[in-house]
Structure 1
């Protein structure tokens, strides 16, 4: 369903245990960036009405999630602040081909893979903290469905730009590269480190 070719390493759960506050802050930034990505796609492909309709929905949901994470931070007394970004998103976006319509396909598929990895991480996080923090576990379990839906939406919209078999082949290629990027990890405790 999520088109991921790897599972997250236990190393990430160690980062969760050591730096949960920072991962929660990063999660808020991820939701803000996800809304921005959808808005940028809408701006780039304004003449594609189905894309604009779906991106509007995603922007609204991502901003809602952003505020929900801010509420979690507030409830825990964790101040929201700037964080240095990890390399995950930048490395994925470097894989985007420069010419249209391939650029549109890649931008949408990169967004889909980021959503898929978020979805996988939310499930892992929920399971990992369930025994000691059921409230946080429930929060992350509740986000799983919308992230999975966003992943699927991005893949379906990519099929407006190229035939389905071309999109699925490219998704497989990008997913393999995403697996290498996530396996490389990052020392910064981030949602996608």
Structure 2
């Protein structure tokens, strides 16, 4: 506040008048900018780290959904369907058993599964022979090439696992298949 003197108003009687200065000091401005920058950096870091975790979750959901779809197609069309996974690859193949040629035929078109997000990949197909999981016309799971052998659950907890990893997040997600019933679950 600045004192302007007793006759600042120009009137006949003396009055004290103070003038207030409005504004911010340089220190206040710098502290405010520093706080805003810190909040912005935290928000950006959180967004990018949660983005890769979200992609991993989406990839796990996609694999589980495609395994369920293969099982549903096998039951509804009364024929064998399989999914072939390749460790380290973001893509996998849906195949249908052709009884006329006694061979697997890759499914194309709307039923073909899309690739996983680029930052994710199937890390391993634990306990499933040759990375091939198939379902018979009753929905029971099998493993291996050709007509396969019944899934016996040699993995942890008597289940077989498809493990999906995210290079960016450094995390994994797991899809488990129960032998006999073919029930598909997601372990987070």
TM-score by length of 2: 0.27
More helix per residue: 1
The one of the two structures with greater contact order (alpha-carbon pairs below 8 A, sep at least 6) is 1
| Structure-1-length-normalised TM-score | 0.26
